[in-house]
Chain A
Amino acid sequence: MLADHFRAAWVVARRDFTAVIFSKTFIFFLLGPLFPVFIGAMAGALGAQVQHDLDNPQVAVAMPAQQGDALIAARDALAPRMAGGVPEYVIAERLKDGQTFDARRLLGEKGNRVAAVLSGTLDAPVLTATSDRVDQWQGQIALFAKQARSDDVGAFPAVKADRLVATAASRRMDQAVTAQAGQVLLFLLTMLLAGMVLSNLVEEKANKIIEVLAAAIPMDALFLGKLFAMLAVSLVGIAVWGSVFGALMLVGMKSVPLLAAPAVGWPMFMALGFVYFAMAYLLLGSLFLSIGSMASTVREVQTLSMPVTMGQLMVFFFASYALAHPGTWVEAVSIVFPVSSLFAMLARAAQSPALWPHVVALVWQALCVALIVRFGAQLFRRSVMKSGPSRAKRSWSAWARAMFGAEAKIA
């Protein structure tokens, strides 16, 4: 009996998998996440160029000849040792005794990159600029002026560096970033793929194939077949995206920020991520399939799935919040609650090296998945094949009966 169920589920899964994989929509599905990356990269590069062109300001120096030269020499000596951007300093004019300089006129001229004018003397420098530029540069100008006034023009002492890979504090922070990245990826993938399950089912109902399937195989098998077919599709998608990302890294996409190694190490983190993704997908997929069974049009599906999507978003935010509060009751609740457990435990894998909690959590999650899949399959069976009055006219109490009503009784 069980073997028959699995055989039937396999028939459905095989059909769905090949149909999706060899469809045009799957190509777009694969390309989908690459579009934002590509567009983001293009926009970033373009923006950086624009930013570079626009925001490469100069400080024009208008001081007595020797003082101006000394200030620029001091700037050139100190700038490499200073973090952050130090603007370019250029001589606007070498002033003679008693000569004045109209800084406001220079700053008002179009076509130059001068953002500030430094006049006066080294003892009493005057900075003419907008308020934010004044706040930004007056400190470094004071430093350059002091250095320029000083007689000490010798070399700076060499600092012997004792570099650490990370401190406990930095590691915790970096791993929190890794954990958050893992959660975001898990959430996005789950949402993307669960939506595919839904559209697949609605299409099937529209094609009137569902009755043929329902007559031939048990509904549970149909439900499981669909669920696992889309899981397999999603794994193909992940493999493709992973390969593309890996290839980009190999060809030197250096700008991609590298995440800190998770506490359990990358291989284990990836393995756990895979298992948690499968669990999350099965949970959400079965929920969406159950919803799909009750709906007969895409519009109905959208209406019905909205609360689930919102709920999923809230769960994600909850798990993210728990991430920032390790060791508290918030984290404990997020681990126990089945829908957030997956996100919370993935975050834990990034932050804590202990593996046994994952074993416990996976057993718990598997139990919850089995229960929800079972419930979803029953609801699917009850809802997917009904004749009688139009669904559109069905009351909310009827929906409730479909959701929670007792099994049909056979005398």
Chain B
Amino acid sequence: MNMKIEPFSHFEGEAISDPALETQELAIEARGLVKRFDGFTAVEGVDIAVPKGSIYGILGPNGAGKTTTLRMLLGIIDPDSGYRRVLGSERPTQVARRIGYLPEERGLYPAMKAAEAIAFLASLRGMPLKEGRRKGREMLEIHGLGYAADRQIRQLSKGMAQQVQLLGTLVHEPDLVVLDEPFSGLDALNQGKLERMIRGLAERGTTVIFSTHIIAHAERLCDRIAIIAGGKVPFAGRVDEARDRLRPQVRLETRTRDGAWRAALPADARSEGAFWHFTLPETGTEPLLRALIEGDAGILSLSIERPGLHDAFVAIAGEAAAHALAETKEPTSDARGRR
């Protein structure tokens, strides 16, 4: 597909450039975050602004810097330079009780019982153990895992253990939920369940930020996204905005194959059977239609298609990043599973 791409070379980050954000209260604001590990730059100048109550996706292939960015936002590691403010605090660890975090590499104590594991995670976030136990059992019942409340984590399937950990992430009713690759390792049924859960959280006013390498999840769920590749963020903003970076695509079917109307088609127009495909000219639809009608093209059908997020990702992050994203495999059970 041949598309016109708007230049991004002068992009300076949405936290500064997006006027829409100026009126919104932000759950997370980060500017110019940089993190190096032993000479290797994992993250290089990340800018992110996450409005309160929104669903925000960080999209990129493995090794792009998603996890490092999330860890910096959570205060697990400090950036080498840059600014971050999470839930109004420049020290994220000070607001840790209001945050729920599901790391990419899931981990629970194998000998702990499911309800106890949830209570423990709650107690880490300041909830009394007794209340954590009660709420843990309650949540397990609600999500159809009540029968497993007294089973040890090592006795649960990988998917069940993952659900237990997710419940432990949410048990203290956090204002901000950070999920690192939450869909990894889940079957289609549970992916749908998780999507509904994320929407439910946002409806209740919880801010959700998650990283993913699966564009479809981000496209379905997110209000805003940050595309991250090679430690940099070439785009951060609304999903619509990302798609609007590309001109819409026109699909035209005509009765005649040739004529004066052909002059109205843009240079990138290509023919596929009875159809013509081309980018909608900047002049808009009306001049195009007028030229086609006056040129006696005999229009049988004409559709204008808005580009998908995948196309936008390719355009923004480049073919290489898109290729890496497509090739990103689910972590193996050995690497991710419980030990």
Which one, B68, B80, B120, B121, contacts A387 given CB within 8 A?
Answer: B68
B76 beta carbon closer than 8 Å to chain A:
yes
Q: In the complex, what distance in Å separates the CA atom of A210 from the CA atom of B77?
A: 13
Chain B residue with the shortest CB-CB distance to A218: B93
Given A216-B125, A387-B68, A388-B40, residue A408 in contact with residue B106 (CB < 8 A): no
A208 near B107: Cβ-Cβ < 8 Å? yes
Q: In the complex, what distance in Å separates the CA atom of A81 from the CA atom of B101?
A: 82
A389 near B81: Cβ-Cβ < 8 Å? no
Chain B residue with the shortest CB-CB distance to A393: B38
A7 beta carbon closer than 8 Å to chain B:
yes
A104 beta carbon closer than 8 Å to chain B:
no
**Partner-binding segment picked from B3-11, B108-116, B235-243, B306-314:** B108-116
- Residues of B78-126 at the interface with A, using a CB-CB cut-off of 8 Å, are 78-84, 90, 93-94, 96, 99, 101, 103, 105-112, 120-121, 123-126
B79 near A207: Cβ-Cβ < 8 Å? no
Given A408-B79, A410-B79, A411-B81, residue A387 in contact with residue B105 (CB < 8 A): no
Residues of A within 8 A of B120 (CB): 11, 15
A207 near B109: Cβ-Cβ < 8 Å? yes
For the complex, count residues of B whose C-beta is within 8 A of A. Answer: 43
A207 near B81: Cβ-Cβ < 8 Å? no
B67 near A387: Cβ-Cβ < 8 Å? yes
- Residues of A372-408 at the interface with B, using a CB-CB cut-off of 8 Å, are 385-389, 394-395, 398, 401, 407-408
Which one, B42, B108, B126, contacts A388 given CB within 8 A?
Answer: B42
- Residues of A211-263 at the interface with B, using a CB-CB cut-off of 8 Å, are 211-218
Residues of B within 8 A of A215 (CB): 71, 74-76, 96, 99, 101, 103
Residues of B within 8 A of A407 (CB): 78
- Residues of B12-41 at the interface with A, using a CB-CB cut-off of 8 Å, are 32, 37-38, 40
Report the minimum CB–CB distance from A233 to chain B (whole Å).
16
Residues of A within 8 A of B90 (CB): 410
B339 near A208: Cβ-Cβ < 8 Å? yes
Q: In the complex, what distance in Å separates the CA atom of A175 from the CA atom of B109?
A: 48
B338 beta carbon closer than 8 Å to chain A:
yes
Report the minimum CB–CB distance from A276 to chain B (whole Å).
33
Residues of A within 8 A of B121 (CB): 212, 216
Report the minimum CB–CB distance from B124 to chain A (whole Å).
4
Given A208-B339, A210-B107, residue A411 in contact with residue B101 (CB < 8 A): no
Q: In the complex, what distance in Å separates the CA atom of A161 from the CA atom of B178?
A: 85
Quick one: which of B76, B83, B107 has the most chain A CB within 10 A?
Answer: B76
Residues of A within 8 A of B111 (CB): 19, 23
B32 near A208: Cβ-Cβ < 8 Å? no
A contact patch SS = loop
Given A207-B110, A211-B76, A212-B103, residue A389 in contact with residue B339 (CB < 8 A): no
Residues of A within 8 A of B106 (CB): 208
Report the minimum CB–CB distance from B94 to chain A (whole Å).
8
Report the minimum CB–CB distance from A217 to chain B (whole Å).
6
Q: In the complex, what distance in Å separates the CA atom of A410 from the CA atom of B77?
A: 11
Chain A residue with the shortest CB-CB distance to B93: A218
Residues of A within 8 A of B68 (CB): 387-388
A389 near B37: Cβ-Cβ < 8 Å? yes
Report the minimum CB–CB distance from B184 to chain A (whole Å).
13
A409 beta carbon closer than 8 Å to chain B:
yes
A409 near B107: Cβ-Cβ < 8 Å? no
Report the minimum CB–CB distance from B17 to chain A (whole Å).
20
B80 near A408: Cβ-Cβ < 8 Å? yes
B71 near A385: Cβ-Cβ < 8 Å? yes
Residues of A within 8 A of B110 (CB): 207
A211 near B107: Cβ-Cβ < 8 Å? yes
Q: In the complex, what distance in Å separates the CA atom of A401 from the CA atom of B106?
A: 29
A8 beta carbon closer than 8 Å to chain B:
yes
Residues of A within 8 A of B37 (CB): 386-389
Residues of A within 8 A of B42 (CB): 387-388
Residues of B within 8 A of A217 (CB): 93, 96, 124
Number of A-B contacts (CB under 8 A): 100
Report the minimum CB–CB distance from A205 to chain B (whole Å).
9
Residues of A within 8 A of B80 (CB): 408-409
* Residue interface mask B37-79, A partner, CB < 8 A = 1: 1101010000000000000000000000001100100111111
Residues of B within 8 A of A208 (CB): 103, 105-107, 339
A410 near B99: Cβ-Cβ < 8 Å? no
* Residue interface mask A31-49, B partner, CB < 8 A = 1: 0000000000000000000
A54 beta carbon closer than 8 Å to chain B:
no
B83 near A411: Cβ-Cβ < 8 Å? yes
A410 near B40: Cβ-Cβ < 8 Å? no
Q: In the complex, what distance in Å separates the CA atom of A307 from the CA atom of B99?
A: 40
Report the minimum CB–CB distance from A149 to chain B (whole Å).
82
A360 beta carbon closer than 8 Å to chain B:
no
Q: In the complex, what distance in Å separates the CA atom of A408 from the CA atom of B77?
A: 9
Residues of A within 8 A of B105 (CB): 208, 211
A206 beta carbon closer than 8 Å to chain B:
yes
Quick one: which of A4, A209, A407 has the most chain B CB within 10 A?
Answer: A209
Report the minimum CB–CB distance from B155 to chain A (whole Å).
15
Q: In the complex, what distance in Å separates the CA atom of A385 from the CA atom of B110?
A: 21
* Residue interface mask A60-73, B partner, CB < 8 A = 1: 00000000000000
Q: In the complex, what distance in Å separates the CA atom of A209 from the CA atom of B107?
A: 5
Residues of A within 8 A of B83 (CB): 410-411
Residues of B within 8 A of A212 (CB): 101, 103, 107-108, 121, 124, 165
Chain B residue with the shortest CB-CB distance to A210: B107
Residues of A within 8 A of B75 (CB): 215
Residues of A within 8 A of B81 (CB): 409-411
* Residue interface mask A134-175, B partner, CB < 8 A = 1: 000000000000000000000000000000000000000000
Show the binding face of B for A, using Cβ within 8 Å. 32, 37-38, 40, 42, 67-68, 71, 74-84, 90, 93-94, 96, 99, 101, 103, 105-112, 120-121, 123-126, 165, 338-339
Nearest 3 interchain pairs by C-beta: A388-B37, A208-B107, A408-B78
Known: A214-B76, A411-B81; 14 extra A-B contacts, CB below 8 A, are: A207-B338, A208-B103, A212-B101, A212-B121, A213-B124, A215-B76, A217-B96, A385-B76, A387-B42, A394-B38, A398-B38, A408-B80, A411-B32, A411-B82
